[in-house]
Amino acid sequence: MINKAWTVVLIILMAVGCTQGEKTNNMETLLKVGKHTLSLAEFNDAFELSQMISEQSQTSDPGYRQMARLQFLRQLLEEMTILSQAEELNLAISDQELEKELNKIRKDYPDNSFDEIFLKKAISYDKWKEKIRKRLLVGKVIQADLIRNISVTAEEIKSYYYEYKETFNRPEMVRIHQILLPTKNQAKKVLAEIKKGASFQDMARAHSTSPDKDKGGDLGFIAKEILPEDLDRTIFKLKKGKVSRVVKSDYGYHLFLVTEKKPASQPDLSQLTKTIKKRIKEEKLEQAYGPWLANLRSRHNVKINERLLE
């Protein structure tokens, strides 16, 4: 939801399996949260894995590496603390909730590329799945124990609106489709076909070199002064449904079609109530997260063996 509070929520492969109430193979305990412990060996393995997964550049600088280790330790500490609170609140993630989240993740990967990631990285799918379960559980704890207790009044929303009213101004916008070609001659030929009645979107799919070609060249809504001056001037002079002349840029030669126009406007309070409420709630969450986590740490008896960090 916001940076500090959701840093932990968005960690997918950070946490490692924590033993309950014992030190396996006499490994020294680095971190203890309630009845859960994390040995130095387990931490080192998890840190190296996180570096490999994130593909962070390796460095021999001992200062940088130590800073990265401390940051990783803080992330593990937060997660272990929040998961201990999950036990106290009797919260868990069901198999149905987990499978729903896994399906959402899979949808972002075409064909078999999702499964190939595990082969390429040599990562156990079952272990990864359990870490997704932990991530979801952290989010459920934050929602149940912190976010649910944050309220926003109508007066707060009204006050926020009038204080930041100008920031909600919406600039003039147009929805455009484009065809990008490498030469001016090619662009002129395509333009001639469009003038004869060919569909702009079909010509984009067939001839454009831009990544948006599969969507018929649809770039969505563009605000004024976002694109380079020549392109911006051309686009915002076009009438709805009209095709531009050939326009040159550093990328090649463009043709544009304007399909929708939105004039500049300033939304009233009723249109922004949900947006403002969300912003205020996020700000309150930002302020409340630190004290909330500090309270959990004190209640769950967090201990760190600082000697092992030296």
Which CATH number covers residue 227? 3.10.50.40
- Tens digit of each residue's pLDDT (9 = 90 or more) over 119-159: 666 677 787 888 899 999 999 999 999 999 999 999 999 99
Q: Using CA atoms, how far apart are residues 86 and 253, in angstroms rounded to an integer?
A: 57
The CATH number for 140's domain is: 1.10.4030.10
pLDDT of residue 66: 81
Q: Which of 61-70, 176-185, 195-204 has the lowest mean pLDDT?
A: 61-70
Co-location of 130 and 248 in the same domain: no
Co-location of 130 and 26 in the same domain: yes
Co-location of 256 and 292 in the same domain: no
In the numeric block, the tokens 């302020």 are attached to 287
Residue 192: pLDDT over 80: yes
Q: Which of 22-36, 192-206, 236-250 has the lowest mean pLDDT?
A: 22-36
Domain that holds residue 107: 3-151+277-309
Co-location of 18 and 126 in the same domain: yes
Does this model's pTM top 0.85? My answer is no
Note whether residue 162 is domain-resident.
Answer: no
SS (H, E, C) 235-297: HHHCCCCCECCCEEECCEEEEEEEEEEECCECCCHHHHHHHHHHHHHHHHHHHHHHHHHHHHH
* Element containing residue 33 per DSSP (H, E): strand 29-33
pLDDT of residue 88: 92
Note whether residue 51 is domain-resident.
Answer: yes
Residue 19: pLDDT over 60: no
List the one residue out of 275, 241, 240, 242 whose CA is nearest residue 170. Answer: 275
What tokens does 143 get? 């929602």
Q: Are 168 and 147 in contact (CB under 8 A)?
A: no
Q: Using CA atoms, how far apart are residues 107 and 182, in angstroms rounded to an integer?
A: 33
Note whether residue 255 is domain-resident.
Answer: yes
Residues 6+ away with beta carbon under 8 Å from 79: 8, 11, 14, 15, 134, 138
Residue 281: pLDDT over 90: yes
Co-location of 188 and 118 in the same domain: no
What's the structural domain count of the chain? 2
- Tens digit of each residue's pLDDT (9 = 90 or more) over 37-71: 888 888 888 887 777 666 555 556 777 778 888 88
Residue 73: pLDDT over 80: yes
What tokens does 54 get? 């994130």
Co-location of 39 and 135 in the same domain: yes
